Copies of this chain bind each other. A is one copy, B any other.
Amino acid sequence: MTSQNPIFIPGPTNIPEVLRKAVDMPTIDHRSPVFGKILHPALDGVKQVLKTTEGQVFVFPSTGTGGWETAITNTLSPGDKVLATRNGMFSHRWIDMCQRHGLDVQVVMQEWGEGVPADRFEEILTADKNHEIKVVLATHNETATGVKSDIAAVRRALDAANHPAMLFVDGVSSIGSMDFRMDEWGVDVAITGSQKGFMLPPGLAIIGFSPKAMDAVKGAKLPRTFFDIRDMAKTYANNGFPYTPPVGLLNGLKLSTEMLLDEGLENVFARHHRIAEGVRQAVRAWGLELCAVRPELYSDSITAIRTPEGFDANRIVSHALNTYDVAFGTGLGDVAGKVFRIGHLGSLTDVMALSGIATAEMVMADLGLPITLGSGVAAAQEHYRNSTQAAQKAAA
């Protein structure tokens, strides 16, 4: 039922052997002191990955979606106003969640392929003289379009407008793979999951709260119990958990953060950039366009590739799976049928990336697209050869 080929969906990622073994634990007594020796190093490791010293980290048996709900239900009350952009499926869904929870969402529509419009946010925030906007939502990396937004710029927009709104950032497909600076960027709630940059199976929502966000918890009137961070904070202090904790995944998270920090976060980011750039060179060699409209928006964890007008991009994904047993990502929402996606986050090597590129070439040729076999591979090889050797020289 499982393939020996690497997968190229934009998460969950290929899971390193050691992490699989760390997660696959026999049952321990989660009320014994052993649990604290797993929980706290995991939380501390996440803080370092988030680059926060002031924030508090909470971990739920849930997913990134649960992380969004944790963010809003712990800090907001029905009718509260939030500002958001819709530029992909995941920003779309977060907006939808806010609306279902009775929040008043001011949505800035963007083309899918564009990023968060910091300048437009600055205008809106400046105009919000009464500070009715409580929270600005931003998706750091739109998994659906392979677009990375400039969170520092959003922070500058808030500062320029001298606006007290909190900044909530969905870092699900960026944190642990791409540069993220919770404290420096003034992120009030940062959200991710176990199955992307942390290279683990799905099952954990991982959330950082700034001191300002913690303050907001007291006044928040949206109902919550499972996602209530007050229960988390109280039980963590006693090496406990408000309900049965996912011990194996936490044990994996502990090791995952050790691995990321041992490699060095900047090296992890450089590795992802290097691999992503190889994929982009391949796309260029194929004569195709990215969904992301400008180079500064290019994601280093996911590449969404536009297929020619009139060609159903989903055929690539299903043919790859059926014929070569390789999983790519389909287009979602507004770009369904128009893009296919190559995930290259988490634990991936040049060699694995090349096998994905080579497969995409075969698939596109099979489906009649005018692709020269080997062209994308050669472009990526050239990039990997040079950058690998440069990296090794730098390390030596």
**CB 8 Å contact bits of A1-21 with B (1 = contact, 0 = none):** 111111101011111110011
Instruction: Give Cα A150 to B211, complex, Å.
Output: 48
User: Is A126 in the interface zone, CB < 8 Å from B?
Assistant: no
Please tell me if the beta carbons of B361 and A381 are within 8 angstroms of each other in the complex.
yes
Question: Which of A16, A246, A388 counts the most chain B CB atoms within 10 A?
Answer: A246
- Set B15, B244, B377: member contacting A27, Cβ < 8 A: B15
Q: Is A234 an interface residue (CB 8 A)?
A: no
Chain B residue nearest to A350 in the complex (CB):
B324
A1 closest partner in B (C-beta): B34
Q: A378 vs B354: C-alpha distance in the bound complex, in angstroms?
A: 12
Contacting residues of chain A (312-352) with chain B, CB-CB under 8 angstroms: 321, 323-327, 329-330, 347-352
Q: A225-B100, A358-B358 are in contact. Are A4 and B16 (CB under 8 A)?
A: yes
Inter-chain contact A374/B381, CB cutoff 8 Å: yes
B31–A9 touching, CB < 8 Å: yes
Asked if A23 is at the interface (CB within 8 A of a chain B CB), the reply is: yes
CB–CB A366/B351 < 8 A: no
Contacts from A to B (Cβ < 8 Å): 1-7, 9, 11-17, 20-21, 23-32, 34, 37, 61-66, 68-69, 78, 96-97, 100-102, 193, 195, 201-203, 222-228, 242-249, 321, 323-327, 329-330, 347-352, 354-355, 358-359, 361-362, 365-366, 372-375, 377-378, 381-382, 384-385, 388-389, 392
Can you offer 16 A-B residue contacts whose CB atoms are under 8 A? A4-B17, A4-B348, A12-B244, A21-B21, A29-B327, A61-B66, A62-B62, A63-B243, A64-B243, A65-B226, A193-B244, A201-B247, A324-B349, A324-B350, A374-B378, A375-B378
List of B residues within 8 angstroms of A354 by Cβ? 354-355, 358-359, 377
Q: Which of B7, B64, B355 is A358 in contact with, Cβ under 8 Å?
A: B355
Q: Quick one: given A5-B349, A101-B223, A201-B27, are A62 and B64 in contact (CB under 8 Å)? A: no
Residues of B within 8 A of A223 (CB): 78, 100-102, 222-223
Is B244 in contact with A195, judged by CB distance below 8 angstroms?
yes
Asked whether A226 lies within 8 Å of B62 as measured between CB atoms, the reply is yes
Let me know if A17 and B9 touch, CB within 8 A: no
Given A12-B244, A381-B373, are A2 and B28 neighbors across the interface (CB < 8 Å)?
Answer: yes
Min CB distance, A76 to chain B, in Å?
11
Chain B residues with CB under 8 A of A37: 1
| C-alpha spacing A96/B382, complex, angstroms | 46
CB–CB B362/A355 < 8 A: no
Query: Within the assembled complex, what's the spacing in Å between the Cα atoms of A63 and B245?
Result: 8
Instruction: Report the Cα distance A382→B327, complex, angstroms.
Output: 20
What's the Cα separation between A355 and B5 when bound, in Å? Answer: 10
